[in-house]
Structure 1
Amino acid sequence: MKAFALLCLVVAVQGRVLDVPEDQSRAVAQRGENPWLVHLRVTRSTGGGLLDTGVGSLIGTSWVLTAASAVQDARFIWIRYGAVDPFRPELVTETSVVQLHPDYSAVTGDNNIALVSINRLVQSTANISPVALAAADSEAPSAGRSCGFGGDGETPGVQLQCVSGDLVVDGNTIVAKGADGILSKFDVGSPLVEDGVQHGVLSSVLGVYLKVAYYRSWIQQVTEI
């Protein structure tokens, strides 16, 4: 029922998403504008050695928040920090320790959220720093900033772009109007941020995010953040 309700929400707003004016705030990201956003390269135990791509957010000195589907069955994860394109990161770390949400379903997409434990302490710089997380009792804002590298369906994009737009909130999901124009399947796990606070984790390329506040107690239990 949750998956069906989410589908209905996407269908209800999709027409408006595609009608976003061309002059909406949409631009190539500059270095340091989104210091919490990280690019993920993942090898899976089920992938035959092929590399997959995802996005996440640095939420502390040793934790990354992302989508479960981006890191499920991960053998190794290379995390690239401070990168407005994947080929020029300021820092790269490698890890393989992943905590999927205990109620994540790969079939329905419910609870598509995960935490990655970094194998070192990441020091903050002008281009790398953690994002604050929405409190458990907080309301989602009426607008937010979505970012993604995009792609052509088969190949990940190489330039981070961001768009600011209105949000539609329903239960534990948030739909970002207009975000689908810059997102691809390679951006799953990307953060939805407003005023330096992360409110969502990208679950669908249609701009559907899981609400961070809804999962705040689980995040705190795992990370102690």
Structure 2
Amino acid sequence: MTVPDDVETFAAAVGPEPDDVLREMDARAEKTGFPTVGPAVGGWLQQLAGLVGARRVFEFGSGFGYSAYWFARGLPAEGEIVLTEIDAEELDDAREYLARGGHADIARFELGDAIETVEAYDGPFDVVLVDNEKDRYVEAFEAVREAVPVGGVVVADNMTAGPFEFEAIHRVVVEGGETDNAMARGVADYLDHLGDAEDFETTLLPLGEGLAVSRRIA
């Protein structure tokens, strides 16, 4: 389930104003069907970075840099955001977009598997975005878990839609049923895993395709 288009448009209108580069990225996503988080969620990511006073952000899966661009707008001049992507052309595009937006100095671009990449970094990361393969969300969370300080946040996309229908994830998480969709199963396993993570508190943000927001509390 995604938020109705009129609500999503309303949320985007209330949120931070996108610049020309973001408008170009939105047009690209609409033309090609590339699954970005969209401006409503993007504005919220920018706000989140500011709310937690983030200085460092790590992304598991960055595509052509859309969510990273929003995050970068919420970081201080001395901040850092690490983008990871397995597609070299998309990562090159991300580098160009962030440079055009004036964010090149705080962005680091890593080509390759995000879970392997994060192991080469020392924490802390104040905000983490999990948006890689859905059946590897638990693996991603565990790979970065100890690098998130108390008060830091892990955000995971595609909790209610994306590579599956809402009914599939609802059937597993709410009704206790089963699904043969591997992506829905991966998200359900992730939510179940978070439920057992006593050092994190998780809530659902029903914007875009659904975000699980997990704040480290201990």
Normalising to structure 2: TM-score of the pair? 0.25
| Higher share of residues assigned strand | 1
| Higher relative contact order, structure no. (Cα contacts within 8 Å, ≥ 6 residues apart) | 1
Normalising to structure 1: TM-score of the pair? 0.24
| Higher share of residues assigned helix | 2
